[in-house]
Structure 1
Amino acid sequence: MRQNLTVEEALEVILEQAQPLSETEELPLAQAYGRILAQDLASKVNHPDQDDTSLDGYAARAEDTLGATPENPVRLKVIGQAPAGQPFPGEVGPGEAVWIFTGAPIPKGANAILRVEDTRREGDTVLFFKPANPGDIRRRGDDFRVGEVLLKKGDLLTPGRVGICAAMGYPRVSVFARPRVGVLTTGDEVVEPGEPLPYGGVYNANNYSIAALVSEAGGEPILMGKIPDQPERLREKLEGVGKLDLLLTTGGVSMGEYDIVRQLLEREGRIHFWKVRLQPGGPLLFAEWGGLPILGLPGNPVSSMVTFFLFGRPYLFRALSRTDAPYSVLEATAATPFSPNPSKVAYRRAVLTSGPGGLQVHTTGNQSSGVLRSMAVGNALVVLEAGIGAEVGQKVRVIPLGFAL
């Protein structure tokens, strides 16, 4: 069993075990937001499928409007109109114009548009106070063309990408099935919200915060409740776990007598590593039980959330073949001091803001791994190398927490 890995070493081991999933499903486009594409998508159409206008105005021949000014406007005869979806059937000749609306095809004979604000209608004529502009015509296929691949396998379907799917002509899309991720909390002291809280008890925040993180990362959380600190109860859960792609446990992975997850997996499973040189979340464990990958998160609520974000989220991204990165690293200016850990990489909870001076970051306050408030108000992690803190005004590395933005 490997112990005391660096963050980079631990992440490498985890990603080596994250096998891309092959199960897919086809969904109506209205249900596809937030899912991961399972195949490349090429457009079935040109967009736009004809030359059309980018604004409301009048379509005319550019040569008929040269020299038009507010003092010496050009007068043209209006021979019809072209709302979107109702193309003008005729042809624009010399001295003529068609009243046209955004998205409507350019009438035959016209080659320029003048926006309505630069005209004045007078009966069946219109005055042009500027020359008509050919640049206000959107050319056929200007956005994309038939056969052009716009979306790739592994792309997250954002609102804009869902719109692109529709514009390319797809009513349904193939997406990867969500990885089934079990979430199991351990601890005699853990009580479900709503139950009476006994002396020394704590409500089961981990169960719900981790499940929410799994959903946000593209997985399907399977809430398995909580078990007491009894190895046989953990064994029963593992034996009856059913079909899962990953199991997340919280608690029971440190060095105490009641840390049953680590103890049972040492005896009966296969542990890839235990303990990582980071704060919070040092006693992280990664193991297998009968082929099921198990990520053992620490029991403190901040530690469990931070370690899932740094390690569990990349695992799910790799399993889903996602093309986007699980998180990014930015540079910001410290607006408050940040203290280091003398021997470990420290991830300090912080609030990242943008102002005239660029990105700034300030602490959420108490950095204890039991202060869940820091994950509720914070939207970033400040990354500090072992033994190195940050003073006000210094540049620091920052990981935005995508789920908090």
Structure 2
Amino acid sequence: MRTNLSVEEALEAVLEAAQGELAVEELPLKEAFGRVLAEDLASLVEHPDQDDTAIDGYACRAEDTLGASPEAPVRLRVVGEAPAGRPFPGEVGRGEAVAVYTGAPIPKGADAVVRVEDTRREGDEVLLFAPASPKDIRPKGDDLRRGEVYLRRGDLLTPGRLGLAAAMGHARLKVFRKPRVGILSTGDEVVEPGEPLPFGGVYNSNAYSLLGLVLEAGGEPVLLGKVPDQPEAVLERLEGAGPLDLLLTSGGVSMGEYDVVRKVLERHGEVVFWKVRQQPGGPLLFARLGGLPVLGLPGNPVSSMVTFFLYGRPFLYKLLQRTEPPYGRLEARALTPFKGAKGKKVFRRGVLSVAEKTVRSTGNQSSGVLRSMAFGNALVVLPPDRDAREGEEVEVIPLTFVP
């Protein structure tokens, strides 16, 4: 068992365990939002399938409208109209125009469009107060070309990408199965919300914070309830967790007499590492139990969420073969001081303004203050042995689950 790893060493060890490929399932478009593509997706069509208009107006020949102005309007004869989906069947000749509406194919013979705002209709004629221009004509294939790949294996199906898949002509999509992630809470003091809270008890917030984090990362959470601080009960629940891709435990991994999760995994599994040089979340544990990866998260609410975000989320991204990184990094100016820690990389909770590129502390940085993860939207990263003064540039990881 390795111990006292750096953050980078711990992440490398966790990602090494994200092996194998998830099964693929095929879903109709309406069920594919938020899933991850399991194959490259090429367009089945050209879009637009011919030159069309990007505006409402009149399609005509540009040479017939040269010099048109409010003082010297040009008069054209309107020979028809072309709403979207109903192309004009004829041809535009000299001195003629066709009323066109956004998305309509450009009629044969026309090479320019004048905006309806620059015209006035007078019966079967139209007055143009500006020259027609080809700039509002969208050429064939301007958006999509048949056979070209626009979405890649590993892409998350966002609203825009789901719409793009539909525009390409795909009614069903192949996606990766969601990784199943078990969530087990430990501790005699843990009580389910809604039950009476005994003296010294604490409500099981970790299970629900982790449930949200797993969903947000693309996994399928499996709530396994909570077990008391008894080795036999912990082992029974761990071994009976069912088919999972990752098991999360919260609590029971520190150095106390009642931190039984670590002891059970040392006896009955393989502990890959225990303890990381970071704050919060130092007692993090990673193990295997019968081939199942187990991420032992600390029991403090902030530590539990931060360590999942830094290690569990990348694990799921790798399983899903996501094309984007699990989290981003940027630089921001500190509006408040941030305190570091001796020999440890520190992740302080902050409120980030992306527009102003500034970040301030959420206040109390205790790992038991869950409010900081509800209203803070970023982690301020401090290297070991280093504080950050007000006005200093600091590294920031935005928390994607906070608006």
TM > 0.5 fold call: yes
Q: CA deviation at 1:22?
A: 2.9
Can you list the C-alpha shifts for 1:173-210, whole angstroms capped at 9, x where unaligned? Answer: 01000000000000000000000000000000000000
Q: CA deviation at 1:213?
A: 0.3
Which residue of structure 1 aligns with residue 213 of structure 2? Answer: 213
Q: Residue 160 of structure 1 aligns to a residue in which SS? A: helix
Give the aligned residue type for 1:334.
A
Distance 1:240 1:248 in 2: 14
Can you list the C-alpha shifts for 1:228-253, whole angstroms capped at 9, x where unaligned? Answer: 00000011112211100100000000
Q: CA deviation at 1:20?
A: 4.2
Can you list the C-alpha shifts for 1:153-184, whole angstroms capped at 9, x where unaligned? Answer: 00000111001000000011010000000000
Distance 2:361 2:238 in 1: 39
TM-score by length of 1: 0.98
Can you list the C-alpha shifts for 1:234-283, whole angstroms capped at 9, x where unaligned? Answer: 11112211100100000000001111110011111101100000000000
TM-score by length of 2: 0.99
Which residue of structure 1 aligns with residue 168 of structure 2? Answer: 168
Give the aligned residue type for 1:368.
S
Can you list the C-alpha shifts for 1:294-320, whole angstroms capped at 9, x where unaligned? Answer: 000000000000000000000000000
1:83–1:101 Cα contact (<8 Å) kept:
yes
1:20–1:321 Cα contact (<8 Å) kept:
no
Q: CA deviation at 1:143?
A: 1.1
Give yes or no for the alignment of 1:106 onto 2:106: yes
Which residue of structure 1 aligns with residue 329 of structure 2? Answer: 329
Give yes or no for the alignment of 1:90 onto 2:99: no
1:20–1:318 Cα contact (<8 Å) kept:
no
2:22–2:179 Cα contact (<8 Å) kept:
no
Q: CA deviation at 1:27?
A: 0.9
Give the aligned residue type for 1:277.
R
Which residue of structure 2 aligns with residue 391 of structure 1? Answer: 389
Task: Provide closer, same or farther for how the CA distance between residues 20 and 70 of structure 1 changes in structure 2, counting only shifts above 3 A.
Answer: farther
Distance 1:360 1:22 in 2: 40
Give the aligned residue type for 2:94.
P
2:334–2:358 Cα contact (<8 Å) kept:
yes
Q: CA deviation at 1:221?
A: 0.2
Distance 1:398 1:239 in 2: 39
Which residue of structure 2 aligns with residue 50 of structure 1? Answer: 50
Distance 2:327 2:266 in 1: 31
Q: Residue 402 of structure 1 aligns to a residue in which SS? A: coil
Distance 1:193 1:312 in 2: 25
Q: Residue 404 of structure 1 aligns to a residue in which SS? A: coil
Question: C-alpha root-mean-square deviation of aligned residues, in Å?
Answer: 0.8
Distance 1:154 1:31 in 2: 17
2:22–2:319 Cα contact (<8 Å) kept:
no
Distance 2:328 2:157 in 1: 19
Task: Provide closer, same or farther for how the CA distance between residues 157 and 311 of structure 1 changes in structure 2, counting only shifts above 3 A.
Answer: same
Moved over 6 A (4+): none
Which residue of structure 2 aligns with residue 281 of structure 1? Answer: 281
Give the aligned residue type for 2:290.
G
Tell me, which stretches of 5 or more residues in structure 2 are unaligned? none
Q: Residue 308 of structure 2 aligns to a residue in which SS? A: helix
Counterpart mapping for 1:270-349 below 5 A: 270-349=270-349
Which residue of structure 1 aligns with residue 197 of structure 2? Answer: 197
Distance 2:166 2:324 in 1: 22
Which residue of structure 1 aligns with residue 185 of structure 2? Answer: 185
Q: CA deviation at 1:70?
A: 1.2
Q: CA deviation at 1:136?
A: 0.6
Which residue of structure 2 aligns with residue 10 of structure 1? Answer: 10
Give the aligned residue type for 1:254.
S
Number of aligned pairs? 403
Which residue of structure 2 aligns with residue 265 of structure 1? Answer: 265
1:192–1:204 Cα contact (<8 Å) kept:
yes
Distance 2:22 2:370 in 1: 36
Distance 2:18 2:7 in 1: 17
Distance 1:388 1:127 in 2: 72
Give the aligned residue type for 2:123.
G
Distance 2:160 2:300 in 1: 38
Give the aligned residue type for 1:137.
I
Which residue of structure 2 aligns with residue 226 of structure 1? Answer: 226
Distance 1:397 1:83 in 2: 53
Distance 1:10 1:82 in 2: 63
Distance 2:60 2:151 in 1: 37
Give the aligned residue type for 1:206.
N
Q: Residue 312 of structure 2 aligns to a residue in which SS? A: helix
Give the aligned residue type for 2:104.
A
Which residue of structure 1 aligns with residue 145 of structure 2? Answer: 145
Q: CA deviation at 1:284?
A: 0.2
Q: CA deviation at 1:354?
A: 3.4
Give yes or no for the alignment of 1:65 onto 2:65: yes
Q: Residue 126 of structure 1 aligns to a residue in which SS? A: strand
Please identify, of 182-191 and 117-126, the stretch whose mean Cα deviation from structure 2 is larger: 117-126
Distance 1:98 1:269 in 2: 76
2:14–2:311 Cα contact (<8 Å) kept:
yes
1:185–1:226 Cα contact (<8 Å) kept:
yes
Give the aligned residue type for 2:120.
R
2:270–2:287 Cα contact (<8 Å) kept:
yes
Q: Residue 156 of structure 1 aligns to a residue in which SS? A: coil
Distance 2:210 2:22 in 1: 24
Which residue of structure 2 aligns with residue 363 of structure 1? Answer: 361
Q: CA deviation at 1:9?
A: 0.4
Tell me, which stretches of 5 or more residues in structure 1 are unaligned? none
Q: Residue 103 of structure 1 aligns to a residue in which SS? A: coil
Q: CA deviation at 1:289?
A: 0.4
Which residue of structure 2 aligns with residue 375 of structure 1? Answer: 373
Can you list the C-alpha shifts for 1:331-381, whole angstroms capped at 9, x where unaligned? Answer: 0010111111122111000000134xx311000000000000000000000
Q: CA deviation at 1:30?
A: 1.1
Please identify, of 125-134 and 221-230, the stretch whose mean Cα deviation from structure 2 is larger: 125-134
2:6–2:276 Cα contact (<8 Å) kept:
yes
Q: Residue 92 of structure 2 aligns to a residue in which SS? A: coil
